[in-house]
Amino acid sequence: MTILVTGGAGFIGGNFVLDWLARHDEKLVNLDALTYAGNLETLQTVARHPQHVFVRGDIGDRDGVAALLRQHRPRAVVNFAAESHVDRSIHGPADFIQTNIVGTFNLLECVREYWSGLDGEERAAFRFLHVSTDEVYGTLQAGDAPFAETHRYEPNSPYSASKAASDHLVRAWHHTYGLPVLTTNCSNNYGPYHFPEKLIPLVILNALAGKPLPIYGDGRQVRDWLYVKDHCGAIRRVLEAGVPGETYNVGGWNEKTNLEVVHAICAILDRTRPRADGLGYREQIQFVADRPGHDRRYAIDAGKLERELGWRPEETFDSGIAKTVEWYLANPEWIEHVSSGSYRDWLNKQYG
């Protein structure tokens, strides 16, 4: 038995690979293009794991993906591969269109051809799980109900628009061709191995370096925060028991403003790594101009996933953020290599 994971050297995909190999004896084939956010150092502990096969490649490479499917004959494909940073999508949307839309299309076509050639029980048991985001639903006002799976799509950034398009493709391949797909739409993830362009790792690293802690606008944008290990557990559960064609929202039931998140990190660092001058880390907070089209509030209703599949997150925001800060304090080498870009030197030497 084998599963194929795409984007398995990124933040969420890498955590999923580590958790899967710790829990299963099943072979996992890991396909990742190793763009700027793909980091094999995240997977260092499983580099020689007998059930982990890493392949550098792009989901848009039909010949390469088709060859992997023929060779390894997976029972499932879990698609994490995506460009995922809103700020980068604003400044350079082309990569997001290419990977998230065209890449997903090419992957679906390869998987459809492979699945069509399966027989009997193998064909019936096969699943394609597409990992998406709550940002496809747009923004909420303060009193609005959280996003349910039936909420209409209203993406507001090039990133969320490209992910919305990929979700529509996945849905269409199920309804038109019968491909047994599952879609998960998750809220903001945080935890170990997070690339330091995102809010939580950026604040941790800037605080320790004595740099400003930048907060967009008034800092009162609300997000639902989901610890990445909980997200991995939800994906495993959906893969195991989800109904083909269905969408499942995955959230942490933790709505926090960006300012509350930064204050929480500062409080933990004040206790565990106090500043030499005796001042608190909040002194480093700096409000900066808001980004264009910044959505005000995201909130996920994960009730369907609990009712139908029995999943709830294990971590509260307080427990998850404490574990996250602790991990960054304990892993300065990973952080230094990512921050300096030196982790790419080995990739260039290994892969050219």
Which ranges in the chain belong to alpha helices (H)?
11-23, 62-72, 86-91, 94-96, 104-116, 120-125, 158-177, 199-208, 228-241, 258-272, 303-309, 317-330, 332-340, 343-351
Half-sphere exposure of 202 (CA within 13 A, CB side): 12
Q: What element of type H or E holds 278? A: none
Residue that has been written with the tokens 């979700």 in this structure = 167
Q: What is the largest CA-CA distance in the chain?
A: 69
DSSP 282: G
Instruction: At 9, list the tokens.
Output: 């050297």
- Distance CA(48)–CA(50), nearest Å, equals 6
Contact 179, 108 (CB under 8 A): yes
Contact 57, 51 (CB under 8 A): no
Residue positions annotated with a catalytic role: 134-135, 159
